């Protein structure tokens, strides 16, 4: 599993509000760093890493919900939840295909046809997920979600996000 | 999925630690609210909800770890272990009905194929007689459909049935392991130790 990015400038004695801005923006940046690889679709680990990051982001938003006005915050949380859900559907199929393929070798001959049929069905369903992922990110771009989220986080936490510059952990 | 319990009394302009403590207290309570309910392996929803509660607690321990002097890693590992076991149980609980659905899907496809074949056979039958051919009786059709099923896709069912049986066995084993872990954590006073580590006052 991809390691979580370090949160720049986060200290144990930070104000709750300040920590909220730093953690949420770091997790957003971390998640979006996997976007190109996910859309490319050549390596299922890219989508997996993006989904894990989206769950970290969601968890961070849940944890720091108290730093934001409840009503307006829900809209941002909903969008992130949608990202997790769409990626989750694709990931579940990737995992199922991988596990079933791994099972094949240990199966009796008369059991193989059923599992091969199931894998073929899951592959078809998985192929149908790609346009949904692509459409989701188009929507995020079209609605300027990232810019709105950045403005919102800055406004309510006082953290200057342009100065934050989160980066992946060194290998 | 159960909604997270609301956390009240937060002060965003105060330090991270007292706020984190308040949030953790609610999320620890949430996990332990499933104690008893998960003692029945048939309580699929409660097991799933406890997994979600563990997940929330685990991520909070990751996020708020920096605010506490005590090392929260060992607690985090235990919660993650529980969450993983409950996650694997949930996978079985989701997959078994899916596989049963797949069996039905195979039957539907075969049924459709059979009907198409019958229609084709009827249409291509040479018409030597002046009277129209009688439609096949329902019983004859069923026999034909069964034969077709056996010949065409019946072999796919063997593997799916085997997989369902395998998942059921795995589910039983996972549940037994989960209950062992949960009982051990309670015996080791996991909750009071965690609460003490983050400074929640209790009977620790």
Q: In angstroms, how far is CA B196 from the centroid of its own chain?
A: 33
Cβ pair B14:A20 closer than 8 A = no
Chain A residue set in contact with B, beta carbons under 8 Å: 4, 10-17, 19-20, 23, 55-56, 59-60, 62-63, 65-67, 96, 100, 103, 107-108, 110-118, 121
Give dist(CA A100, CA A106) in Å, integer: 10
Cβ pair A62:B56 closer than 8 A = yes
Question: Is A170 part of a structural domain of the chain?
Answer: no
Token pair listed for B9? 């009394």
Full residue range of the structural domain in which residue A91 is found:
16-161
Question: Is B30 part of a structural domain of the chain?
Answer: yes
Question: Is A7 part of a structural domain of the chain?
Answer: no
β-pair partners for A15:
B15
What is the pLDDT, as a whole number, of residue B140? 75
Cβ pair A63:B64 closer than 8 A = yes
What is the pLDDT, as a whole number, of residue B142? 78
Question: Is A2 part of a structural domain of the chain?
Answer: no
Give dist(CA A97, CA A25) in Å, integer: 33
What is the pLDDT, as a whole number, of residue A73? 97
Q: Which residues of A touch B66 (CB under 8 A)?
A: 10-12
Question: Is A57 part of a structural domain of the chain?
Answer: yes
Nearest chain A Cα distance for residue B47, angstroms: 19
| CA nearest neighbour of B99 among B175, B161, B155 | B161
Residue in chain B closest to A156 (alpha carbons) equals B12
What residues contact B139, with CB distance under 8 A and at least 6 apart? none
Q: At what angle do helices B16-32 and B44-64 cross, to 10 degrees?
A: 160
Mean residue pLDDT across chain B: 88
What is the pLDDT, as a whole number, of residue B125? 63
Question: Is A157 part of a structural domain of the chain?
Answer: yes
Cβ pair B158:A111 closer than 8 A = yes
- Look at chain A and report how many structural domains it folds into: 1
Is there a contact between A68 and A94 (Cβ–Cβ < 8 Å)?
no
* B72-B179-A89-A105 Cα dihedral, nearest 10 degrees: 110
Q: Which residues of A touch B56 (CB under 8 A)?
A: 59, 62
Lowest mean pLDDT among A130-144, A151-165, B136-150: B136-150
- Look at chain B and report how many structural domains it folds into: 1
Full residue range of the structural domain in which residue B22 is found:
16-123+140-197
Q: How many CB atoms lie within 10 A of CB A37?
A: 16
Is there a contact between A2 and A53 (Cβ–Cβ < 8 Å)?
yes
Nearest chain A Cα distance for residue B115, angstroms: 21
What residues contact A147, with CB distance under 8 A and at least 6 apart? none
Structure confidence at residue B151 as a pLDDT band (50, 70, 90):
low
Cβ pair B159:A114 closer than 8 A = yes
**More confidently predicted of B130 and A167:** A167
Question: Is A6 part of a structural domain of the chain?
Answer: no
What is the pLDDT, as a whole number, of residue B107? 83
B93 touches chain A (CB under 8 A): no
What is the pLDDT, as a whole number, of residue B203? 46
Averaged pLDDT for residues A16-27: 97
Tens digits of per-residue pLDDT, A60-74? 999 999 999 999 999
Q: How many CB pairs under 8 A join A and B?
A: 102
Question: Is B99 part of a structural domain of the chain?
Answer: yes
Question: Is B133 part of a structural domain of the chain?
Answer: no
What is the pLDDT, as a whole number, of residue A144? 98
What is the pLDDT, as a whole number, of residue B64? 96
**More confidently predicted of B158 and B170:** B170
Tens digits of per-residue pLDDT, B36-92? 999 999 999 999 999 999 999 999 999 999 999 999 999 999 999 999 999 999 999
Residue in chain B closest to A15 (alpha carbons) equals B15
Cβ pair B155:A63 closer than 8 A = no
What is the pLDDT, as a whole number, of residue A171? 73
Tens digits of per-residue pLDDT, A27-59? 999 999 999 999 999 999 999 999 999 999 999
% of residues, chain B, pLDDT over 90: 68
Q: If you count them, how many residues does chain B have?
A: 204
Question: Is B128 part of a structural domain of the chain?
Answer: no
Distances (CA, A) of B108 to A110, B102, B161, B172: 21, 10, 17, 31
Give yes or no for residue B133 having a pLDDT over 50: yes
Question: Is B3 part of a structural domain of the chain?
Answer: no
Residue in chain A closest to B14 (alpha carbons) equals A15
Question: Is B132 part of a structural domain of the chain?
Answer: no
Question: Is A78 part of a structural domain of the chain?
Answer: yes
Cβ pair A111:B62 closer than 8 A = no
Give yes or no for residue B204 having a pLDDT over 80: no
CATH of the domain at A147: 1.40.20.10
Pick among A1, A14, A66 to test the B interface (most B CBs inside 10 A): A66
Token pair listed for A161? 């996000």
Tens digits of per-residue pLDDT, A74-86? 999 999 999 999 9
| CA nearest neighbour of B179 among B169, B168, B167, B171 | B171
Helix spans in A8-108 (H): 16-32, 35-40, 44-63, 70-104
Structure confidence at residue B105 as a pLDDT band (50, 70, 90):
confident
Residue in chain A closest to B7 (alpha carbons) equals A66
Averaged pLDDT for residues A76-105: 94
Question: Is A139 part of a structural domain of the chain?
Answer: yes
Query: What is the pTM assigned to this prediction?
Result: 0.85
**More confidently predicted of A111 and B180:** B180
Q: How many CB atoms lie within 10 A of CB A59?
A: 19
Q: Which residues of B touch A59 (CB under 8 A)?
A: 55-56, 59-60, 62-63
Nearest chain B Cα distance for residue A47, angstroms: 19
CB-closest option in A16, A100, A118 to B14:
A16
Give dist(CA A16, CA A37) in Å, integer: 33
Mean residue pLDDT across chain A: 94
- What is the DSSP code (8-state) at residue A156? H
Give yes or no for residue A1 having a pLDDT over 90: no
């Amino acid at each position: 599993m991809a390691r979580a990015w370090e949160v720049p400038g986060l200290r144990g004695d930070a104000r709750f509000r300040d920590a909220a801005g730093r953690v949420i923006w770091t997790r957003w940046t971390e998640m979006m760093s996997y976007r190109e690889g996910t859309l490319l679709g050549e390596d299922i680990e890219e989508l997996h890493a993006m989904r894990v990051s989206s769950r970290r982001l969601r968890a961070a938003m849940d944890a720091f919900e108290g730093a934001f006005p409840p009503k307006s915050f829900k809209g941002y949380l909903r969008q992130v939840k949608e990202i997790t859900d769409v990626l989750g559907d694709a990931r579940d199929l990737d995992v199922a295909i991988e596990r079933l393929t791994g099972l094949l070798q240990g199966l009796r001959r008369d059991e193989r046809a059923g599992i091969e049929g199931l894998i073929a069905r899951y592959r078809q369903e998985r192929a149908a997920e790609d346009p949904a992922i692509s459409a989701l990110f188009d929507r995020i771009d079209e609605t300027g979600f990232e810019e709105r989220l950045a403005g919102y986080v800055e406004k309510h936490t006082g953290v200057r996000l342009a100065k934050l510059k989160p980066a992946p952990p060194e290998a | 999925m159960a909604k997270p319990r609301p956390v009240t009394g937060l002060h965003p302009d105060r330090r991270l630690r007292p706020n984190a403590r308040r949030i953790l207290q609610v999320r620890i309570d949430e996990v332990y609210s499933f104690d008893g309910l998960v003692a029945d392996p048939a309580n699929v929803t409660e097991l799933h909800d406890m997994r979600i509660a563990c997940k929330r607690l685990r991520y909070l321990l990751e996020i708020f770890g920096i605010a506490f002097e005590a090392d929260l890693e060992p607690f985090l590992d235990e919660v993650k272990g529980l969450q993983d076991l409950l996650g694997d149980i949930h996978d079985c609980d989701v997959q078994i009905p899916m596989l049963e659905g797949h069996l039905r899907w195979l039957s539907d496809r075969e049924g459709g194929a059979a009907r198409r074949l019958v229609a084709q056979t009827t249409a291509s039958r040479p018409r030597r007689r002046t009277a129209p051919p009688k439609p096949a009786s329902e019983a004859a059709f069923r026999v034909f459909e069964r034969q077709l099923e056996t010949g065409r896709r019946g072999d796919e069912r063997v593997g799916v049935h085997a997989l369902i049986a395998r998942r059921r066995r795995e589910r039983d084993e996972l549940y037994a392991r989960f209950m062992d872990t949960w009982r051990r954590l309670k015996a080791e006073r996991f909750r009071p130790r965690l609460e003490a580590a983050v400074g929640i006052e209790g009977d620790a």
